Amino acid sequence: PYTATALDGRSISSTAGSTGINGTITIGDANQVGLVLAVFDLATDICDDQSIQIVKTADRAAAEPGDTVIYRLSVRNLATAPLRQLAVTDVLPLGFQFVASSPRSALGQNPVPIEADQQGNTITFRSAATLAQGEVLTIAYAAQLTPDALRGNGTNTAIANAERTDNGWDVRDGPALHRLRIQPGIVADCGTILGRVFEDRNFDGEQQPDEPGIANAVIFMDDGNRITTDERGLYSLANVLPGYRTGALDLTSVPGYALAPNQNFIEPNSPSRLVQLAPGGMVRMNFAVTPIERPAEQFTQEVNP
């Protein structure tokens, strides 16, 4: 006699629905033959080796900052019953920016609606479609690489979840991995320009703790780009091509101010600045200004230093 009991608490009998089975096994010559293994063939169709499968691919194996990558998620129903409430969670690597208007979905050859919810670098796709046995739901979307991608590993993961329609059990598969090789491209040679526009009260060309920054000041670069300072008079420009770069302060953006005379160096008295930016380097480009109607003591200090 034997008793079989389900360790997971689920039914092991498709007829009675019980979690245990009692029975008898007949062994010829029991005195000489030991019981090594007994196999029971239960009439049940609720246990599948794998109910759902997810595969993740991309349209390229390598990319650099500024490129756009198209990812494709294929979710296949391997169960013996249809699947519903499909959800795919995809975690993007550092420096990958999800394009919100890009997701597309198709069930076989027929387009189906797809919802995308973004929380940080985690994207969750949900579909109301029901996948019959053997059907494949395809989800495609785009992600753009930023310079921060150089600090990541280019690997993202995707997990698929669904519910069986016959017994309501949750099924899942994953993570499906895809690794994109990140190439530095032109960003490897680019540098950064940092600067500030401030009121120089002692005309030394450096900002002191009591010298305020000028907000909303505009600096024109030699390539035509314009930069606006923040509330503290600071600005920065990343991914700048190396070499000699020029910037000029637009005095019309700082009404009531003129360039402050620099008593230490002649070059900063020009309305423009010339800097040499090394590949991957960083330089400062500051602009000092002073009120047009200056106090008498400041005017005397400027004329008779």
| Number of neighbours of residue 249 by Cβ within 10 angstroms | 26
At residue 15, the 3 state secondary structure works out as coil
- Name which of 102, 105, 69, 70 is nearest 88 in CA terms: 105
86, 163 Cβ separation under 8 angstroms: no
Point out the residues of the chain with pLDDT beneath 70.
Answer: 13-17, 30, 32-49, 186-188, 266-268, 294-305
- The pTM of the full predicted model, rounded to 2 decimals, is 0.53
140, 104 Cβ separation under 8 angstroms: yes
* Residue 210 dihedral angles phi and psi, to the nearest 5°: -95, 10
103, 141 Cβ separation under 8 angstroms: yes
* Residue 150 dihedral angles phi and psi, to the nearest 5°: -65, -25
Q: What is the pLDDT of residue 194?
A: 92
Q: What is the pLDDT of residue 13?
A: 64
- Ranges of beta strands (E only) in 200-280 are 218-221, 226-228, 234-240, 243-250, 257-259, 272-277
- Sign for the pseudo-dihedral over CA of 146, 151, 152, 153: positive
Q: What is the pLDDT of residue 206?
A: 84
In the chain, how long is the greatest CA-to-CA distance? Answer: 122
Q: What is the pLDDT of residue 299?
A: 47
CA distance 143 to 71: 8
Specify the DSSP class assigned to residue 251: G
190, 280 Cβ separation under 8 angstroms: yes
Q: Give the model confidence (pLDDT) of 28-68 as tens digits.
A: 776 766 655 454 555 554 556 688 999 999 998 889 888 99
Rg (Cα) of the chain, in Å, rounded?
34
Q: Give the model confidence (pLDDT) of 3-18 as tens digits.
A: 777 777 777 765 666 7
CA distance 290 to 214: 10
Owner of token pair 């005397």: 300
DSSP lists the bridge partners of residue 170 as 163
Burial class (CB in 10 A: 0-12, 13-18, 19+), 126: middle
Q: How far, in whole angstroms, is CA 30 from its chain's centroid?
A: 66
CA distance 7 to 250: 77
Q: And the tokens for 37?
A: 């293994």
| Number of neighbours of residue 259 by Cβ within 10 angstroms | 17
141, 99 Cβ separation under 8 angstroms: yes
Q: What is the pLDDT of residue 295?
A: 52
Q: What is the pLDDT of residue 297?
A: 53
Q: What is the pLDDT of residue 294?
A: 56
